[in-house]
Amino acid sequence: MILTDGTTSLDYFESFPTDIKSVGLSLSGGADSTLAFYCLLKTLSDRNQDTLVYAMHGYDTFRTVARSYEAADAVYEYIVSLFNIEVPPLHTFAFYKNKAVGKYEWFFPNYIYLKNKYDIEDMITSMTLGMPDRKRPNWNEDKYDFTEEEVIEMSKEAPLRFPFATVDKKFIAHQYRTLGLSDLSALTSSCAGDQKVPCKKCWWCEERYWAFKSYDGDKIRS
């Protein structure tokens, strides 16, 4: 399964190893990780490959209204229903985002738990490039996304894979269109605000609209 927008092509899923027994995937419920989960399960289904995919989702208890696990649950159930293959239950865990604790500290223990319990060989995280000239904000200095040192430390335990690291969300939106995944895109959640509907003001809402021409809950527009 090669993904392309006519200019850039990604062959991560096409070249996914046939001998790997288990893989982890960070499923935020956003458009990027949702697409990665779909593409991976489709690849395995098309090949009749028995690799187990352990999806994991961390939700922030600092957000008292928004519940990111609802989006993660929705996209997980939707995608799993499309393919007649065995998929382990979604692993969810809570964390409290504060100034003293970075992403590494709450993600890493769950990553190692899954890796050790299920012999996970790779962990997929679906970070993209963001918007040109609009740097992705950090909630705790440089702690929102993993630092290079943190990636190296986690990779000592099991390799981290970044299939979308060289593309932006417009590339992701193009894949939803060409794959006919408008209904799935409407289930994803990008907003980082703490309300039931997208705030349409945060960086993540702006990025989604820039790429999809729609906000959370709306089908993708051409």
CATH number at residue 14: 3.40.50.620
Q: Is residue 217 part of a domain?
A: no
Using alpha carbons only, how large is the chain's radius of gyration in Å? 16
Per-residue pLDDT band at 153 (split at 50, 70, 90):
low
pLDDT of residue 145: 53
Please count the structural domains in the chain: 1
Q: Is residue 117 part of a domain?
A: yes
Average pLDDT over residues 89-101: 70
Q: Is the pLDDT of residue 144 over 90?
A: no
Q: Is residue 57 part of a domain?
A: yes
Amino acid at 36: A
Average pLDDT over residues 124-133: 83
Q: Is residue 61 part of a domain?
A: yes
For residues 2 and 156, the model is more confident at 2
pLDDT of residue 23: 93
- Determine whether 112 is exposed, middle or buried from the number of CB atoms within 10 Å of its CB (0-12, 13-18, 19+): middle
Q: Which two tokens stand for residue 91?
A: 């692993």
Q: Which residue has the tokens 């904000």?
A: 137
Q: Is residue 191 part of a domain?
A: yes
Q: Which residue has the tokens 């993993």?
A: 146
Q: For the chain, first and last CA: distance in Å?
A: 23
For residues 60 and 122, the model is more confident at 122
Question: What rounded mean pLDDT belongs to the chain?
Answer: 82
pLDDT of residue 4: 92
Report how far Cα 11 is from the mean position of its chain's Cα atoms. Answer: 17
Average pLDDT over residues 130-140: 68
Q: Are 217 and 197 in contact (CB under 8 A)?
A: yes
pLDDT of residue 139: 43
Q: Is residue 91 part of a domain?
A: yes
Q: Is residue 88 part of a domain?
A: yes
Residues of the domain holding 114: 3-212
Q: Is the pLDDT of residue 104 over 50?
A: yes
Query: Where do the H-state alpha helices sit in 83-202?
Result: 103-118, 148-155, 169-178, 182-185
Predicted TM-score (pTM) of the model is 0.86
Q: Is the pLDDT of residue 24 over 70?
A: yes
Q: Which residue has the tokens 């028995």?
A: 50
Average pLDDT over residues 197-217: 90
User: 100 Cβ partners below 8 Å, 6+ apart?
Assistant: none
Instruction: Categorise residue 57: left if φ over 0, alpha if ψ from -120 to 50, beta otherwise.
Output: beta
Average pLDDT over residues 185-195: 86
To which H or E segment does residue 84 belong?
none
To which H or E segment does residue 204 belong?
helix 203-212
Pairwise CA distance, residues 194 & 30, whole Å: 15
Q: Is residue 219 part of a domain?
A: no
Q: Is the pLDDT of residue 151 over 70?
A: no
Question: Residue 113: which of 144, 151, 158, 145 has the closest Cα?
Answer: 158
pLDDT of residue 59: 75
